[in-house]
A and B are shown apart, each in its own frame.
Chain A
Amino acid sequence: MAEEIKADKVVDARGSFCPGPLMELIKAYKEAKAGDVISVYSTDNGTKTDAPAWIKKSGNELIKIIDRNGYVEIVMKKVR
């Protein structure tokens, strides 16, 4: 059975183009509290590499990257 991680906040950026999904993720991150889990959905290919890079660089935790049907879901935890 797949492990389910409950996101405190879901950012549905499907259909939005680079750098849209990353900007929406950063916005959600700024509004979130430390410890919150944020999930972003994106159909933009750049997000697959951009978002994890930003999550690591900003000192947060990349929980996982899931290839869904036609989009990617990136799950992070706000550490600081």
Chain B
Amino acid sequence: MSLLLVSGTADKLMAGSIIASGGVANGMDIDIFVSFWGLMEMKKDAPPNMKLSFEGKDMADQIFAVMKEKKVPGWKEMLRQAKDVGNIKVYACAMFADLMGLKKEDLDPMVDSIIGVSEFVDMAKDSKVTLFI
């Protein structure tokens, strides 16, 4: 399975983490390519993500309050847990990393390496499921 995490809102990123977990449960190998706003959230110094995509904006306060109350882990923690258990590789997009001057050490330790889009598409072309989130 190949996932492209491009959006930087908590709902989209969490969807990515949950789908990756489902992939792990199904014994799939998962390659995740992180770019643009997703990659900005993958920075080590990114503050806790309290952003929702447009259609969820009106519910943001309620959603984050419920998640806090029920101690739902954040998207990074969820992805890290799935990565601990299954075969997940996380790649940062070289183009966007260059654009923003980001190096591997600026990113969360779960990022395995920085690769170009062609290398990722080469992985994706043989995978059964590819999702752009």
Contacts and interface: CB of A to CB of B under 8 A. Distances in A.
B123 interface: no
Nearest to B21: A19
Contacts of B72: 17
B85 A19 contact: no
Contacts of A23: 21, 24-25, 81-82, 85
Contacts of B21: 19, 22-23
B18 interface: yes
A20 B85 contact: no
Interface in B60-81: 70-73, 78, 81
Interface stretch (A3-11, A50-58, A60-68, A71-79): A50-58
Given A54-B25, A58-B27, A20 B81 contact: yes
A35 interface: no
B71 A27 contact: no
A26 interface: yes
A50 B84 contact: no
Given A17-B72, A19-B18, 18 more contacts: A15-B71, A17-B73, A18-B18, A19-B21, A19-B22, A19-B78, A20-B73, A20-B81, A23-B24, A23-B85, A24-B81, A26-B24, A26-B25, A26-B85, A27-B84, A50-B25, A57-B26, A58-B27
Interface of A: 15, 17-20, 22-24, 26-27, 30, 50, 54, 57-58
6 contacts: A17-B72, A22-B21, A26-B24, A26-B25, A26-B86, A54-B25
